[in-house]
Amino acid sequence: MNSSVSCLTQSNYYSPAFNAAIFDGPIRLYFAQYQEAAALKIYFKLQEELKHLYRKGKDLHRHLGRHIFVMLYPSPETFDLSFPNHQANVICRGRLGDDHVVGIKGVLSDESLCDVYQEIGDIIEGWQLEPRVSPEMTL
C-alpha cells in the first residue's frame, strides 16, 4: 500500500464513513458509497474544468509522487471532526506531509464546486514551482 494512503487512513482527515474511492493519477477522491453520483460528477467535471492542468498534474505526480486527497464528507459532523476550526466553511484545505487534502462538506452547489476545482488547480500550479529531483540525485 502506498505510504501516503496509509498515512491518510490514520489521520484526522479520514472517516470510517468513506467506503468508496476514485483513484486517477494524483487525485484520490474518497466518499461514502451513497455519494457515488456526486463523486462522479466532481471527478468528470474536474477533468473538464482543468483540462491541460489535469494532464500536467498527472505528469508532476509521476515525478514528485504527490497526491491530492479530495474528501467528500457525507455530513457536516464528519467534516467538522476533520476540520474542527473551519466549521463555517464548506471547503477546506489541509496538508498531510507532502500531500494535500481538500475537504468538502456534503453535496455542493455548482458554484461551490468551482471553488473545489480552483483549490485543486492552485495545488497543481504550486507543484510546478517545486524543484524536481531526478532519481540519480537521491541517495
- Give 37-56 pLDDT, tens digit per residue: 999 999 999 989 888 888 88
Side by side, which strands form the sheet with 27-31? 20-24, 27-31, 68-73, 99-105, 91-96
At 62, list the grid cell. 509521476
Confidence (pLDDT) at 58 = 84
Question: What's the predicted TM-score (pTM) here?
Answer: 0.86
Q: Band of the pLDDT at 1, cuts 50, 70, 90?
A: very low
In angstroms, the CA 38 to CA 34 distance is 9
Contacts made by residues 123-132, CB under 8 angstroms, sequence distance 24+: 123/68, 123/93, 124/26, 124/50, 124/53, 124/54, 124/56, 124/57, 124/60, 124/68, 125/53, 127/57, 127/60, 127/64, 127/66, 128/56, 128/60, 130/64, 132/63, 132/64
Write out pLDDT tens, residues 66-83. Answer: 899 999 999 999 999 999
pLDDT at 3 over 70: no
Confidence (pLDDT) at 106 = 85
